[in-house]
Structure 1
Amino acid sequence: MANPRARAVVSCHPHSELARRSSRRMEVDYRNKHILAPMVRVGTLPFRLLAADYGADITYGEEIIDHKMLKCVRRENDLLGTTDFVEKGTNDVVFRTCPEEKSRVVFQMGTSNAVRALTVAQMLHEDVMAIDINMGCPRSFSLSGGMVADRPRYPAQWSEIAAVADALSIPVIANGDVFEYEDFGRIKQATGAASVMVARGAMWNASVFSAAGKSSWEQVKREYVRKCILWDNDIKSSKHTLKEMIVHHSCFEFPEGRAVIKCSSNADLARLYGEEEYYKTVTEYRRETTR
């Protein structure tokens, strides 16, 4: 059976050794990039790959607190072809990545302690393109698991971003009120920023990254469900992301929303969105590879 993934597509101190290895890695270029923002409970592997398929150059994972990562062990998942960071003593995957995204995925960490941050960075720096320390959210907002969707619905202050970009020589990434592909160019021109990051616009329709224009809302939802099946995404995360897609375009109290609430597995989502055959193909392939 064909692999369904083909369809988706200088001292002796150890810290010094990490620094030497890291210095040999390619420097990340943050200029002229379209970037998927970090979004709690949304920015898991399936959604990051979906955004990349549509044209995202850099994809941030959801913010994960250092304490949480320090409870994890790194495991190679041969069945999925992923690298999983799993909470010790459980089967709970805290962070999952794969070789397909290694050149563009950024791990975002919430931390207030340099030693913990360095320890976490040592755990996963070989598996991601870059590691980002979250300095953009108030501490209470970050630690309580706040979401981009919780931000006040005020217009983005592009003029303030322009003032920052004008004052700095390093690349500035602008974000705010990017809902169409044309908005990437508009915000860059208005702010002079080096790159553009999008959160809500991508969460509501990941094809905002496509220069060819947006795909239909229904198509994007189905593509997301297929990726959740392929990468065995946590059902709670899958349902939460679908909820965010639905409430923007419709109402979660309508039949589709109520049906999503009732789903308890990716198999249920496959039935709801007409992806039973794809689910069968993936599960049969996995069954054959484990024989």
Structure 2
Amino acid sequence: MNSNEKLSYRNKNILAPMVRIGRLPTRLLALQYGADIIYSEEIIDHRFIQCKRTINNALDTIDFTLDHDSRPMFRTCAVEKSKVVLQLGTANAERALKAAKLVEQDVAGIDVNMGCPKEYSTKGGMGAALLTNPENIKDILTTLVKGLSIPVTCKIRVLPELKDTIKLVQMIESTGVVALAVHGRRKEERPRHTVRVDEIRAITEAVSIPVIANGGSEDCIQSYSDIEKFRSATGASSVMIARSAQLNCSVFRKEGLLPMEQVIKDYLKIAVRYDNHYINCKFCILEMMKEKQETPVGQAVRSALSLEQICAAWNMTEYLQSSRLKRGLPTGSDVINDEPALKKFKNDDIITMDFVLKRCDYRMKNGKSPKTILLEWCRGKEEKEPVYETVCRDSDRRFNSVLTCGGKMYRSTYWERNKRLAEQAAAVVCLRNIGVDDGRVKNDLTNGNDPSTDT
């Protein structure tokens, strides 16, 4: 790739890096609707360097997969090669370069996450933790710029003092990065806090490289026309969109927003084409549906155990089968069988509920989790304490917990990503069945996972 072919970050509309959301189907959907650049979700460097790069001839993709995992950590294809930027989570220059070199020929750019405030990023000195370690920032970015043939960028949040932010971004510019994305909030601030438009503008005036303004979804960007307004208000070269695109990716369409139902069907066509895992499809679709999750279609998606069942909920079974036939893939049921993991239980004896634990709905009411609430209820009634038996499903390494309380067994039909969440979900099922407040923060009964966070 010569310098004339390198990705330009000026005057672009960009899909932000978002955990779980920013996988191949959403990225390609954003491109289809008009996005100029698309970012992957954050990929942690020390895990990525353990991946093997393989060419998937059946799907026409390039997959980066760990030995013990059937699902790729990162999947890409020729359609997005000139537009996709892989975001790295890193705290080490040497390791970051090793990870970036692995994917250098398959993406258009590398971005370093220096803005995500979540614990999964900040632990180990990554994400927003880097903002207080400018020497490490300089080392990482300089190493990547010198060692790669593709553009390097980074994404930050603003610091408590504007003068410190200006000093930081000028140092970042000196490393040779080609652009800088700025989320206009501080590390401790969340979407409900007003985006700091004036501080983004001050940053654009302090550096000569393109500044990508981010953080406007909650306050400013509800449709395509709002993108230009946010660009003008911040003085930025480009605009990066997270939550508004997560809710309705057609925000990138010049022609205007499409109905949620059409966006989901467009998403599913891409997900089917590239055999995206049903759990990720389910998460992305439920995020789009929001308050409509309690409709019959929403309930069908929530309880789905395969991509086949999700497609059936949207009357797309014929499309799924036709797509699989074209690629020579099996067209039969792909429902994951729970029996091997749950075979020691008599399933007829278990009280089940189609419940997906949404962590943001359980922010410890009075400092208590559902498990704690149930334990205290049992003690108050002088009942035996709850017993949790948690199993791991070999096919996808998901967890489900069967709770015994008062001589009855309870479980959620949804398999969680770790043992702790599985036990909390089982406790909620029990509490709702015995008529005890489970500590839910929100009044509605909308299910789904924790909203993705742009990094």
The TM-score with structure 2 as length reference comes to 0.55
* Partner of residue 251, structure 2: 208
* Partner of residue 196, structure 1: 239
> Do structure 1's residue 82 and structure 2's residue 125 form an aligned pair?
no
* Mapping of residues 20-31 of structure 1, within 5 Å: 26-31=5-10
> Do structure 1's residue 270 and structure 2's residue 249 form an aligned pair?
no
Contact 2:212-2:238 at 8 Å conserved across structures: yes
Give the AA of the match of 1:170: I
Offset of residue 24 of structure 1: 5.3
> Do structure 1's residue 54 and structure 2's residue 93 form an aligned pair?
no
Question: Partners in 1 of 2:80 and 2:305 — Cα distance?
Answer: 28
* Partner of residue 98, structure 1: 77
* Partner of residue 239, structure 1: 282
> Do structure 1's residue 33 and structure 2's residue 76 form an aligned pair?
no
How many residues get paired? 264
Give the AA of the match of 1:174: A
Give the aligned CA root-mean-square deviation in angstroms.
2.2
* Partner of residue 7, structure 1: none
Question: Partners in 2 of 1:130 and 1:23 — Cα distance?
Answer: 13
* Partner of residue 409, structure 2: none
> Do structure 1's residue 163 and structure 2's residue 211 form an aligned pair?
no
* Partner of residue 129, structure 1: 108
Offset of residue 184 of structure 1: 1.1
Contact 2:260-2:289 at 8 Å conserved across structures: no
Contact 1:243-1:257 at 8 Å conserved across structures: yes
Question: Partners in 2 of 1:64 and 1:33 — Cα distance?
Answer: 23
Q: Encode CA deviations 1:48-70: one digit per residue, 9 max, x unaligned.
A: 00000000000001001112212
Which of 215, 224, 231 lines up with 2:267 in the alignment?
Answer: 224
Give the AA of the match of 2:98: T
Question: Partners in 2 of 1:158 and 1:246 — Cα distance?
Answer: 29
Q: Encode CA deviations 1:212-246: one digit per residue, 9 max, x unaligned.
A: 11111110011111111111111111111111111
Question: Partners in 2 of 1:126 and 1:187 — Cα distance?
Answer: 33
Q: Encode CA deviations 1:58-109: one digit per residue, 9 max, x unaligned.
A: 0001001112212210000000000000111331210000001001000001
* Partner of residue 138, structure 1: 117
Give the AA of the match of 2:70: N
Question: Partners in 2 of 1:151 and 1:84 — Cα distance?
Answer: 33
Identity of aligned residues (%): 44
Offset of residue 151 of structure 1: 3.4
> Do structure 1's residue 256 and structure 2's residue 302 form an aligned pair?
no
Offset of residue 141 of structure 1: 5.1
Question: Partners in 2 of 1:262 and 1:220 — Cα distance?
Answer: 21
Match of 1:28, SS? coil
Question: Partners in 1 of 2:278 and 2:207 — Cα distance?
Answer: 42
Offset of residue 288 of structure 1: 7.5
Higher mean displacement: 86-95 or 22-31: 22-31
Contact 1:179-1:202 at 8 Å conserved across structures: no
Match of 1:252, SS? helix
Question: Partners in 2 of 1:198 and 1:252 — Cα distance?
Answer: 24
Offset of residue 272 of structure 1: 0.6
The TM-score with structure 1 as length reference comes to 0.85
Query: For the structure 1 residues 116 and 220, does the alpha-carbon distance in structure 2 shift closer, same or farther, using more than 3 Å as the test?
Result: same
Query: For the structure 1 residues 90 and 188, does the alpha-carbon distance in structure 2 shift closer, same or farther, using more than 3 Å as the test?
Result: closer
Question: Partners in 2 of 1:38 and 1:101 — Cα distance?
Answer: 15
* Partner of residue 111, structure 1: 90
Give the AA of the match of 1:128: V
Contact 1:65-1:143 at 8 Å conserved across structures: no
Question: Partners in 2 of 1:68 and 1:143 — Cα distance?
Answer: 16
Gap regions ≥5 residues in structure 1: 1-21
Query: For the structure 1 residues 181 and 79, does the alpha-carbon distance in structure 2 shift closer, same or farther, using more than 3 Å as the test?
Result: same
Question: Partners in 1 of 2:260 and 2:69 — Cα distance?
Answer: 36
Match of 2:85, SS? strand
Contact 1:36-1:202 at 8 Å conserved across structures: yes
Higher helix share: 1
